[in-house]
C-alpha cells in the first residue's frame, strides 16, 4: 500500500468529504438531529453515538434511523432540520480539525484542484466554507441537493470528475466514513480513509481503502 501522500502527489483532483473529514462537527450535527426530533415530538430510536455514525448519508435516511419513522413521512421534519442547520448561528459554530487549512492551502499551492462532496446542500456548504476560511481554496462543491443518489452512491464524485474533466485514477477521495470510501470506489477513484472522524479504522478497513490517514497533514 502506498502512503496517502504518494497517492495525492499523483492526483490532479482531491475530493473531500466535509463533516468529520475537514470539520470536527459530529457533536454539533448529532445535537441538531436530537433538537429536531424534540421539536417535532419524536423520540430517538437510537443512542446519540449511533446518530453520529449515520452522518454523511442523505438527511431523510439519518432522520428515519434516528426516529424509527419511515423516511417518506419525514419531509416536514427534514425541512425543520434544514431551517435550524442553515441559520447563521449554527454556521458560525463549525470548526475545522487542526491542520486542515494549512494542508488544503499546501495542496492548492502544489497545483491540486480541490473539491467537496457532501450530503449538505451546496449553498449551505459554501456559506460554511466562507465562515471557516476555505472558500478561496475549494473550487467546486457537489451537495446532496445536486445529485439524485446520495452517498454511498458514486454520483457526486462522478459529477466532480466530469466537471474537472479528470480521469478517475487521477482523483483521490478523502473521507472519514465507509460511505465516502464506497462512493470513491464506485467512481473508480483513489480512496483515502480518515480515521480521526466518525467511523473507526476497523469499519473503514472493511471497505478496503487505498490508504489511511490518522491526521490530515499526512496528505502532504
Angle at 157 between CA 151 and CA 159, to 5 degrees: 115
Per-residue pLDDT of 116-154, as tens digits, reads 999 999 999 999 999 999 999 999 999 999 999 999 999
Q: How far, in Å, CA of 82 to CA of 144, rounded?
A: 12
User: Is pLDDT at 15 greater than 70 in this prediction?
Assistant: yes
Dihedral sign, Cα of residue 175, residue 178, residue 183, residue 186? positive
For residue 75, give the C-alpha cell: 419531509
- 71 alpha-carbon distance from chain centroid: 21
pLDDT in tens, 90-107: 999 999 999 999 999 999
Is pLDDT at 171 greater than 90 in this prediction?
yes
Structural domains in the chain plus CATH codes? 4-25+95-219 (3.40.50.1000), 26-91 (1.10.150)
- For the chain, the first-to-last Cα distance in angstroms comes to 17
Q: Is the pLDDT of residue 61 over 70?
A: yes
Residues constituting the chain? 220
CA distance 8 to 59: 30
Amino acid at each position: 500500500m502506498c502512503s496517502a501522500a504518494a497517492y495525492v502527489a499523483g492526483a490532479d483532483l482531491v475530493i473531500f468529504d466535509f463533516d468529520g473529514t475537514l470539520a470536527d462537527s459530529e457533536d454539533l450535527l448529532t445535537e441538531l438531529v436530537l433538537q429536531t426530533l424534540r421539536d417535532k415530538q419524536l423520540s430517538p430510536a437510537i443512542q446519540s453515538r449511533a446518530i453520529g455514525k449515520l452522518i454523511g448519508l442523505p438527511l431523510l435516511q439519518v432522520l428515519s434511523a434516528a426516529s424509527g419513522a419511515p423516511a417518506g413521512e419525514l419531509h416536514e421534519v427534514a425541512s425543520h432540520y434544514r431551517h435550524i442547520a442553515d441559520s447563521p448561528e449554527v454556521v458560525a459554530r463549525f470548526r475545522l480539525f487542526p491542520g486542515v487549512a494549512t494542508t488544503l492551502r499546501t495542496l492548492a499551492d502544489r497545483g491540486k484542484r480541490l473539491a467537496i462532496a457532501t450530503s449538505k446542500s451546496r449553498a449551505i456548504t459554501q456559506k460554511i466554507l466562507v465562515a471557516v476560511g476555505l472558500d478561496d481554496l475549494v473550487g467546486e462543491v457537489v451537495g446532496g441537493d445536486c445529485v439524485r443518489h446520495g452517498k454511498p452512491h458514486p454520483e457526486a464524485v462522478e459529477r466532480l470528475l466530469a466537471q474537472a474533466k479528470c480521469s478517475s485514477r487521477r482523483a483521490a477521495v478523502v473521507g472519514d466514513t465507509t460511505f465516502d470510501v464506497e462512493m470513491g470506489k464506485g467512481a473508480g477513484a483513489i480512496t483515502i480513509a480518515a480515521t480521526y472522524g466518525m467511523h473507526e479504522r476497523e469499519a473503514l478497513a472493511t471497505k478496503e481503502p487505498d490508504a489511511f490517514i490518522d491526521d490530515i497533514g499526512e496528505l502532504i
